[in-house]
Homo-oligomer: A and B are copies of this chain.
Amino acid sequence: MNILLTGSAGFIGSHLTERLLAEGHHVIGVDNYLSGQPANTALFREHPRFRFIQADVSLGLPDPGVRLDFVLHFASPASPPHYQQHPVATLMVGAQGTQHALDLARAHGAAFLLASTSEVYGDPEVHPQPETYWGHVNPNGLRSCYDEAKRYAEALTMAYHRHYGVDTRIVRIFNTYGPRMRADDGRVVTNFIHQALAGQPLTVYGDGSQTRSFQYVSDLVRGIMALMDVPDPFPVNLGNPDEYTILQFAERIRDLIDPRLPIIHRPLPADDPRQRRPDITRARTLLGWSPQVSLQDGLARTVESFRAVGGQPERLVSARLDGH
């Protein structure tokens, strides 16, 4: 297939590109490098079936010159420090960016897949979260530039499906980690690994009792590939339901790297979700999908990849993780 992928230079985009090329597809990557990394484009530059267009999908997409079969819209700042630094760009890539990608899919008769997020559930009052849960999001808070942009992107995608008949899919991505995360993305995984590798104390926000679930990036990519084969327009959660407190998580990473390091606490930011865990019943039944990589294995591979690049932020490439 000919596949156009926005956000190709992001953390998830780079892993998705790798897998799509391995499956024999032609991939046209698009990124503006607002939060994506040129090093992630460089990984595939020599590949005969990869082509890259540097462009801001919020401003429009150039004609790709070939007939597209699929448009995957993964472009967006996705970590709180990035989207709070670029709130208007984050809102725009959810609205104008999603629309340009949908218009392209529609013009080509191609299928469309939106990378949405567990952030559409906000600070959930239902636990775990099934796709039918409507969420609990502050429309005016500091995180709203990301959360509301993604909710809008879902509504727009459904409008293109219902009104124009575009073959659309929506994946709600829960916290994901793995190699090529940006060390400066402000997420708990990267923060902990980076701090531990630098021999520094691990910083926990709040008392650390808030929980998160973490999926390894290869599990996510396998789920996205499965959803591309199933024409169902309603959102599908992809995440690992194994739940840990942030404090447990800090302890695991510390113990992998240096058990002597202290764990320190800082105040919890506003609107930080207390807990979030996917209900993956729908992904299991619709796609036959469930996570396969254990936290222990995934963390070991991630720490190893961080060690391999010397733990230097400037050599670690690209983040497009969901949540933090």
- Which residue from B94, B96, B156 sits with its C-beta under 8 Å from A88? B156
Whether, in the assembled complex, A152 has its beta carbon less than 8 Å from a beta carbon of chain B, the answer is yes
Question: Known: A134-B136, A134-B139, A139-B135. Is A88-B151 also a contact (CB below 8 A)?
Answer: no
Kindly list chain B residues whose C-beta atoms are within 8 Å of the C-beta of A154.
Answer: 139-140, 144, 148
Among residues of B, the one whose C-beta sits closest to the C-beta of A85 is B163
- Residues of chain A in range 192-241 having any CB-CB distance to chain B below 8 Å: 234-235
* B87 lies within 8 A of A140 (CB): no
Within 8 Å of chain B (Cβ to Cβ): is A162?
Answer: yes
Any B CB within 8 A of the CB of A247: no
A91 near B145: Cβ-Cβ < 8 Å: no
We find that the number of chain A residues with CB closer than 8 angstroms to chain B is: 37
Chain B CB within 10 A, most for which of A149, A155, A163: A155
Q: Are A139 and B163 in contact (CB under 8 A)?
A: no
Q: How far is the CA of A233 from the CA of B32 in the complex (A)?
A: 32
A residues 69-85 near B (Cβ < 8 Å) are none
- Residues B96 and A159 in contact, CB atoms below 8 Å apart: no
Mark A residues whose CB is within 8 Å of B. 87-88, 91-92, 94-96, 99, 120, 122, 134-140, 142, 144-145, 147-149, 151-152, 154-156, 158-160, 162-164, 170, 234-235
